[in-house]
Each structure stands twice: as C-alpha cells, then as structure tokens.
C-alpha cells in the first residue's frame, strides 16, 4: 500500500476517494476491524526510543529478508510512529495478524520473515506476551499494556507512516477541517469544544473551548495560533512521540482553530532536543502545503492558513506560555505578568491562541465524533483521555493513553506490569519538576486534574515516574529543586532566590547537617514561593518539597533527627562495611577507594577504615559479589 500522492493539490473529491480506498486496510492495521483480506505488512516502531535501540537496522533487515524470500514484493515494511511500549523495543508487528514481537534484532528479523511470514508459525520466543493471574497467556493487543488503553490523541501513532499524508487522510484526516470549512460555523465549533470538556493538556487544565472563545472575541484583524511543543519536563515524551508519530494531527487541529478564531498564521515551537520531531513535522508541513491543505485558499474555501516551525534552544521556562511567546519573538524567554493573557495580547501584542501538542491532537476527533462522545469518557470535571509517560521503577516503560479517572494502581500494576526486581511501589511522581509525589497509599484515587491537585501534585504534561522503596524522597526533592534553580529565569526574586535557599536547606538535610527548625523553614518558604512567584514555574517550584514533606515526613525526620537515610541513598549518611561471607578478596574495592580507606590481602576479607572513609560509594559500585554494604 505504498502511496505516493500526485504533486498537484487535492480537492475534496480526491480526499474522499483516498479515504474510501485506504480506510479498511488501515483499520485492520490499527486492530480496529478484522480484515483477513488486508495486505500483509510488517510495522516497525520508528519512534525515538526504538530508534535508539536500532529499530532502523531492524526494518532494513526485515526488508532484506523479505526480498530474499518467496514473498518478495508482497510484504511491505512500514516504519510507523511510537507504539508506546518502549521497554520492549524495537517492536515489530505483523499486520493484519496482530502479532507483536519485542526486542527484535537482525537475527530476530530473519526469523520473523522465515518462520512467521513464510512458514506460518508464530515465533514464540520473540512474541510479546503477558501471563495474567489464572495462568492465561495473553498476546498482541490483548496484553494488559495495550488492552487497558483508549487512544484518542495517539490514535494514529504506531499505525500510520508518520509523514504519509495519504495514510493520515485515510484515517479520516483533514475531514474535520473540511467540516469546519464548509459545514460548521465557528460558534458551533467552539460550542462543541466547550461541551466536550477538553482541558489544556499542557498541565494547567484550562478549558480549551473557553480559550478559543476568548481569542475569537478578542478584537484585532491579525491573530496567531501557537502549538506549545516545548516539552521540558524530564520524563515526559508524549509531545515528542505525537510530533514524530502523527504530525498531521497537530497541523489539522491548528488549522481548524485558525479558521474558528480568525488567524492566518500558526507557529509550532519545538525543543531543539527533538531533531526527529522537527524533521517529520517539517516534512508533514511541506506535504500539506503541496496538497493545498495549508497555504492560500485551502480546499477552495477562501481560508488562508500556514504554519512555521520555531526551534527552542533549551530553556525549561519557555514551556510557560508568555515566555514561549517571547522566545518566538527572538528574545530571552522570560515570563510576563498576566493579565494581559495571550488571548488578548500575545505574539507581537496580537491575540494569540496557544495550546499544547496533545490538546491539538485531540481537536479533530471531537469534531468528527461529537462532544458527547468525548464527554462520556473520564470524570465529572476532567473529560476524555490523558497520555502519560511511564518511567522509572516500572516494568513497562513507555507511553500510555488512558481515560481520566483511572487509578494509579491500574496504571502501575496492570498497564505498567508492576515494579521490577521484587521491590515495593512507594510513590509516583507526576507533573515533572513542577509536580509532586503521590504516595502508594493513594494509589486507588481516580486520577484527574482535581484529585492530583488535592494530593499536592499536578497533572502537568503527564510524566509519571514510578518510585520504588530505594528512592529517597528527600534526595528526589533536592534533585527537582536543583533542576529549578538552574532553570529559573531569574526575573522574580521569590523563584530566583527562594529556590536557591530551598536547595541549600535540602543539601543540609541530605548531608545530615540540618536541625528540626530547618524543616519548618523549608515548609514556610515553600508556601511563600508558591504565593509570590510571577509565573507557573515559580508557583509550582515548591511542589516537590511540599508534597514529599506532607506524605513522607518520617523520611525527613529520619535524616534530621537520626542522621539516617531510610532508603539508603544519601551517601553522607551511610556507613559502608564489607561482609565477610560474600567477599572474595578480589581487591577491586581497595583499588577503587580514592581515600585509601580499604585494606586487606588478596583472597582475604577486606575492611574499611571508617575514619578514612569519605562516603563516596565507589567500593559499593565496583564490588562484584555484593559484599560491600551501605546502611
């Protein structure tokens, strides 16, 4: 099904014909319909993480193996966007069979072609499978990781070739834009966005329809549409995967909004750290322009709209909307006081509609399937689905899209496959450096914007870092505050100075030099920073500290009162010893020790002189027999 579109522009008839011809095979590829007659295809994940695991070489190996087999010319290898299960990458799917193969290498690629495609036998050793309680072996889309998900924003990721306009169109792409251009009036679209209950997926959760209305009603003959793709939260990679896996969905959402609010120019602001996203978005923009879906007189409607890419330059604060707009203008990305909001005075002082990548991706499904359909998913005040990036101490690292209101326990234990290494689930850190920690005790709370806020965290962009019992919560808070000290733009003192003082206090605590009064100072300082900072970065900067103080106070107390780190992570508080039993006398620790604290004869038990020990932990990391212990 290799589709090359004619170089001329498309009209509505051509788009309809394309959908009619390609929709069924693509539905089969997505697993939405049984279509045994659909062509055999090998889908290879070409998302960022799988490429790091050499999935491009796997795709090449599959092509070579197919060409050498009797199926030459009959099976196409499709490089699709992120399928989500990064842990098992590189992933290969045999379509329409729906058989998933994990951790495929060059040899695996040959076996898939020879044994499965030619021989008709599934390669069991490589097949993605999950044992569920009751002994049943689930495979393919039935593994809990996929079965529990509801894909709206990610509907095309892992299904279509990301830059293929034809494949996007065949998945009802640009159909919503057609409706908005020719059938619906602007107020009806805004009304649908409002009734859907969609809220900004960048973190703050502002109702999208209301934002659109403000910009529509703002006076001015020049307005702008902006996509915030400055995904700075460490641990979040949904915007990246969307831009890499389905760039046309962002373009379509922005064009729809352009029509509705009366804007002719859009900007997508993407991080410089995401070269692949920039490349694929650029290709998609060029294809849309060539087809007449961007540019002048779109589809003969008289509506003009075009989009430019703006590349960020590595500043976390640029994820804040006013800072991002300053950055597009070519200035230092420092936030501005609001009001005026960007809806009134944004880019170059003109009304500007700015939404996150994931929000844009959700626009066309709402218009096509209706506000009621979207509003039926989720909780009372948080509708639809949310994409989370699962990482940290979890078996299935990756990207998942789940209905709002799902419990953390379902995400961790069923979709995430639990905690590896027999460790205990301690907490989940949501919302990146601006977020907080949700303790395991609250794992059954339905997740939405409000419930996370009540727990002292935020939804944020959707990064979800799972922590096991070896994570020290004080050290984690220190890590985030250190991040924010470096990323604070320096404009307002509460953030610039306050985060630095918080970091100093946290360093004192992790070194065992703090007193009980320091914890009170930390808490009241945090509240001051929350209240007095100019922008979202500063207002949320103390969240990591305050939420861990609230839920894990005993850990702080152990550091301060007993000079002890219960998780065994704060090096200065640990005492290193060598246990006689497993010590093989290899002397690696003595060689590694920078302070000469370890002595002993080869093949005999070594000992650590506590007076000389500087608590660096070098011995612990080199010991091959785990004889070095830190308590």
In the complex, the residues that contact another protein under the rule CB under 8 A are 48-49, 52-53, 86-87, 89, 232-237, 240, 272-274, 310-316, 327-333, 389, 391-393, 397-398, 429, 432, 463, 465, 467, 471, 476, 479-480, 483, 485-486, 489-490, 617, 621-622
Closer by beta carbon to another protein, 260 or else 476:
476
Beta bridge partners of 464: 390, 430
Q: Which is nearer to another protein, 203 or 463 (CB)?
A: 463
- If the CB atoms of residues 299 and 315 are measured against another protein, the closer one turns out to be 315
Residues 6+ positions from 377 with CB-CB distance below 8 Å: 150, 152, 383, 384, 385, 403, 404
Q: How far is the CB of 564 from another protein (least distance, A)?
A: 20
Number of H helices, E strands in the chain: 26, 19
Q: Which is nearer to another protein, 131 or 308 (CB)?
A: 308
In the complex, least distance from residue 626 CB atom to another protein, rounded to whole angstroms: 14
User: Count of CB atoms within 10 A of residue 575's CB?
Assistant: 12
Closest to 460 measured CA to CA, from 523, 537, 394, 383:
537
At 226, list the tokens: 């902006």
Question: Between residues 288 and 465, which has the closer beta carbon with respect to another protein?
Answer: 465
Gap between the Cα atoms of 495 and 484, Å rounded = 9
Taking the complex as a whole, how short is the minimal distance between the CB of residue 471 and another protein, in angstroms? 6
Closer by beta carbon to another protein, 77 or else 270: 270
Q: How far is the CB of 433 from another protein (least distance, A)?
A: 8
* Rounded least distance, CB 592 to another protein, Å: 9
Give the separation between CA 485 and CA 500, rounded to whole angstroms. Answer: 6
Residue 267 or 374: which CB sits closer to another protein?
A: 267
Is 218:305 a contact under the CB 8 Å cutoff?
Answer: no
Shortest Å, Cβ 131 to another protein: 21
Q: Closer CB to another protein, residue 32 or residue 306?
A: 306
- Taking 3-state DSSP, the helix, strand and coil percentages for the chain, each rounded to the nearest 5, stand at 45, 15, 40
Residue 393: what are its φ and ψ, rounded to 5°?
A: -85, 70
Are the C-beta atoms of 12 and 299 separated by less than 8 Å?
Answer: yes
E-only strand ranges, 281-420: 306-311, 352-356, 385-392, 398-403
Query: Smaller CB distance to another protein: residue 119 or 490?
Result: 490
Q: Beta-strand (E) ranges in 140-186? A: none
- Cα distance between residue 472 and residue 497, in whole Å: 25
Structure tokens at 517: 């009064």
> d(Cα 344, Cα 369) in Å, to the nearest integer?
31
Compute the least distance from the CB of residue 164 to another protein, in Å.
23
Please, what is the minimum distance in Å from the beta carbon of residue 365 to another protein?
25
Distance of CA 411 to the CA centre of its chain: 14
Largest CA distance in the chain: 86
- Least Cβ distance, residue 40 to another protein (angstroms): 28
C-beta closer to another protein: residue 48 or 173: 48
| The CA-based dihedral angle spanning residues 576, 579, 585, 591, taken in that order and rounded to the nearest 10 degrees | -10
Least distance (Å) from another protein to the CB of residue 392?
5
């Amino acid at each position: 099904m290799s589709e090359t579109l004619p170089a001329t522009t498309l009209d509505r008839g051509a788009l309809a014909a394309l959908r009619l011809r390609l929709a069924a095979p693509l539905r089969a590829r997505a697993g939405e319909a049984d279509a045994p007659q659909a062509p055999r295809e090998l889908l290879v994940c070409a998302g960022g993480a799988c490429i790091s695991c050499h999935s491009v070489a796997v795709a090449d190996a599959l092509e070579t193996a197919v060409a050498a087999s009797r199926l030459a010319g009959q099976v196409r290898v499709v490089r699709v966007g992120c399928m989500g299960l990064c842990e098992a990458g590189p992933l290969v799917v045999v379509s329409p069979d729906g058989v998933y193969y994990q951790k495929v290498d060059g040899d695996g690629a040959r076996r898939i072609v020879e044994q499965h495609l030619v021989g008709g036998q599934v390669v069991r050793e490589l097949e993605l499978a999950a044992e569920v309680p009751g002994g049943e072996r689930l495979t393919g889309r039935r593994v809990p990781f996929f079965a529990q998900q509801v894909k709206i924003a990610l509907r095309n990721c892992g299904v279509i070739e990301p830059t293929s306009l034809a494949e996007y169109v065949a998945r009802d792409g640009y159909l919503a834009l057609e409706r908005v251009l020719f059938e619906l009036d602007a107020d009806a679209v805004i009304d649908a966005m409002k009734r859907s209950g969609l809220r900004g997926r960048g973190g703050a959760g502002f109702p999208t329809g209301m934002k659109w209305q403000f910009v529509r009603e703002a006076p001015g003959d020049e307005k702008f549409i902006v996509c915030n793709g400055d995904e700075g939260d460490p641990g979040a990679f949904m915007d990246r995967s969307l831009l890499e896996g389905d760039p046309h969905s962002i373009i379509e959402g922005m064009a729809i909004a352009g029509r509705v609010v009366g804007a002719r120019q859009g900007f997508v602001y993407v991080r410089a750290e995401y070269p692949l996203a920039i490349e694929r978005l650029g290709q998609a923009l060029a294809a849309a322009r060539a087809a007449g879906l961007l540019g002048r007189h779109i589809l003969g409607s008289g509506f003009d709209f075009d989009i430019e890419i703006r590349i960020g330059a590595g500043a976390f604060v640029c994820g804040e909307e006013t800072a991002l707009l300053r950055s597009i203008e070519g200035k230092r990305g420092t936030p501005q006081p609001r009001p005026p909001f960007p809806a009134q005075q944004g880019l170059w002082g003109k009304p500007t509609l700015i939404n996150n990548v994931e929000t844009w991706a959700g626009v066309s499904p709402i218009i096509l399937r209706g506000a009621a359909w979207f509003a039926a998913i989720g909780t009372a005040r948080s509708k639809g689905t949310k994409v989370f990036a699962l990482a940290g101490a979890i078996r299935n690292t990756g990207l998942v899209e789940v209905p709002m209101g799902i419990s953390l326990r379902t995400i961790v234990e069923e979709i995430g496959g639990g905690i590896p290494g027999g460790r205990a689930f301690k907490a989940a850190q949501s919302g990146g450096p601006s977020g907080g920690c949700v303790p395991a005790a609250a794992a059954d709370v339905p997740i939405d914007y409000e419930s996370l806020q009540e727990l002292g965290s935020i939804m944020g962009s959707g990064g979800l870092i799972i922590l096991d019992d070896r994570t020290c919560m004080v050290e984690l808070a220190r890590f985030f505050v250190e991040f924010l000290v470096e990323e604070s733009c320096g404009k307002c003192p509460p953030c610039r100075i306050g985060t630095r003082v918080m970091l100093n206090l946290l360093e004192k605590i992790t070194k065992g030099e703090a007193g009980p009064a320091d914890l009170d100072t930390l808490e009241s300082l945090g509240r001051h920073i929350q209240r007095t900072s100019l922008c979202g970065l500063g207002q949320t900067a103390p969240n990591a500290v305050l939420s861990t103080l609230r839920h894990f106070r005993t850990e702080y107390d152990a550091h301060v009162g007993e000079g002890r780190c219960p998780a065994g992570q704060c090096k200065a508080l640990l005492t290193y010893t060598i246990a006689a039993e497993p010590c093989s006398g290899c002397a690696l620790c003595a060689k590694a020790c920078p302070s000469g604290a370890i002595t002993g004869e080869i093949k005999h038990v070594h000992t650590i002189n506590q007076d000389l020990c500087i608590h660096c932990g070098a011995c612990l990391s080199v010991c091959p027999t785990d004889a070095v212990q830190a308590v």
